[in-house]
Amino acid sequence: MSQVFLPSPVALRHPDQLHALVENRTVYSLDAFELNIFETRQTASKVPLSMGNLVLTTMLRGKKVMHLAGRPAFDYLPGESVIVGEQQLMEIDFPEASATNPTQCLALAIPADTIRQTVDLLNERLPLAEEKAPWSLAMTENAHLTNTPELTGTLERLIHLSQETHASKDVLASFTLQELLIRLMQTQARQLIFHNYAQHLTSHRFAHVVQYIKRHLTEQITVEKLSELACMSKATFFRLFKREFGLTPVEYIIHERLAEAKRLLRNPLTTVADVCFRAGFNNTNYFQSLFKKYEGITPGLYKKRCR
């Protein structure tokens, strides 16, 4: 059971406004990008879709099954995003869609020049920790993402801007799109290093940091020790870690400890107090406050729901 990060609800079309029951499309065109909202209200399979530009899709309601060349089909659920490359064909199944259970998905078409300019600017002005691993947007590896709060918040602002009518919206949308690309690359970096750190121990210094954190969760972990592992000064380590992943080392430690707490809470024999200390927290009030802040519910309620 994990918290799902979704933009604020996007209103469904009234049935009288639908042009099709499968992938009904509503388009918002801006200077910087094109935002599409797709709705489906009946079951269908292998529906083809290709949009020309690179597309960031984000699932808002319902369930799809995605078929992309070169990889097995996978379930696509709310709180997830998929990057689809230029001219890449998607084939989509809608196994559960109906009038009362519609699917809804946004698709943000982004020009290649915008992506290239943003990546070049970042590599010039804000280089990452490893010169051999500069800023880049992966089109195949880590193309299926679990949304972070930061990525979701930026998407929400783009949706709102797309529907506004004031004269400055295109300027604001251009800046927000650049932020979205940064958030997207940071989200990919989290999946690459946080989830697969063992594969990158010889090529990325932050992989060693992640390994140490995971192995010493119940101990006191200092930024001084982590910066030493990364062979950086404390200030440089803190700055580059936040730049690469979009969160601080301390926030990442909290994230890992909360993930361990959720695992432990699913055991019916544990108590909340026991979980608190076994997950690396040393104060139950602090643990409960953090858990509710990040998960939206208390540890006790989470434990009850897991039953």
Q: Is there a domain that residue 147 lies in? A: yes
Q: 82 and 142 in one domain? A: yes
Residue 1 has pLDDT above 80, yes or no: no
> Taking every pair of C-alpha atoms in the chain, what is the biggest distance, in angstroms?
63
Q: DSSP states of 59-80 as a string?
A: EEES-EEEEETTS--EEE-TTE
Q: Is the pLDDT of residue 141 over 80?
A: no
From 179, 194, 209, the end of a domain falls on 194
What CATH number is given to the structural domain containing 56? 2.60.120.280
Residue type, 171: V
By three-state DSSP, how is residue 58 classified?
strand
Average of per-residue pLDDT across 126-133: 93
pLDDT of residue 4: 84
Specify whether 25 is located in the same domain as 84.
yes
Percent above pLDDT 70 for the chain: 99
Domain end point (choices 148, 166, 194): 194
What own/partner pairs with CB < 8 Å and gap ≥ 24 does 270-277 have?
270/303, 272/299, 272/300, 272/303, 275/299, 277/218
Residues 252 and 166 both lie in one domain: no
What mean pLDDT is predicted for residues 270-275?
Answer: 96
Strand partners, 54: 110
Residue 101 makes CB contacts below 8 A (sequence gap 6+) with: 62
- Asked whether residue 214 falls in the same domain as residue 180, the answer is no
The 10s digit of each residue's pLDDT in 19-29 is 999 999 999 99
Could you tell me the residue range of the domain that residue 46 belongs to?
15-194
Residue 149 lies in a domain: yes
* Domain boundary, last residue among 194, 213, 233: 194
- Identify the DSSP state of 263: H
Other CB atoms within a 10 A radius of the CB of residue 54 amount to 20
Q: How far apart are the first and last CA of the chain?
A: 11
282 and 302 belong to one structural domain = yes
pLDDT at 264: 97
Q: Are residues 272 and 229 in the same domain?
A: yes
Q: Is 116 helix (H, G, I), strand (E, B) or coil?
A: helix
Average pLDDT, the chain: 94
DSSP letters, 5-28, are --PSPPPPPPGGG-S-SSSEEEEE
Is 202 within a domain? yes
Shared domain for 110 and 155, answered yes or no, is yes
**81: closest CA among 166, 16, 158?**
158
Q: What is the pLDDT of residue 284?
A: 95
Mean pLDDT across the stretch 140-169? Answer: 92
What integer pLDDT is reported at residue 138 of this predicted model?
87
DSSP 3-state of 47: strand
For residues 259 and 184, what is the distance between their CA atoms, to the nearest angstrom? 22
| pLDDT tens column, 234-267 | 999 999 999 999 999 999 999 999 999 999 999 9
Question: What's the CA gap between 29 and 96, in Å, rounded?
Answer: 30
- 216: tokens are 């010493």
The answer on 158 and 251 residing in a single domain is no
Q: Which residues, at least 6 apart from 185, have a Cβ–Cβ distance to it below 8 Å?
A: 135, 136, 137
User: What is the mean predicted confidence (pLDDT) over 92-115?
Assistant: 96
My answer on whether 60 and 186 are in the same domain is yes
Token reading at 74: 């996978």
Query: What is the total count of domains within the chain?
Result: 2
Whether residue 53 contacts residue 32, with contact meaning beta carbons closer than 8 Å, is answered with no
pLDDT at 2: 63
Tokens encoding 155: 């998407």
> 87, exposed or middle or buried, with CB in 10 Å at 0-12, 13-18, 19+?
exposed
- What phi and psi values does residue 54 have, to the nearest 5 degrees? -60, 140
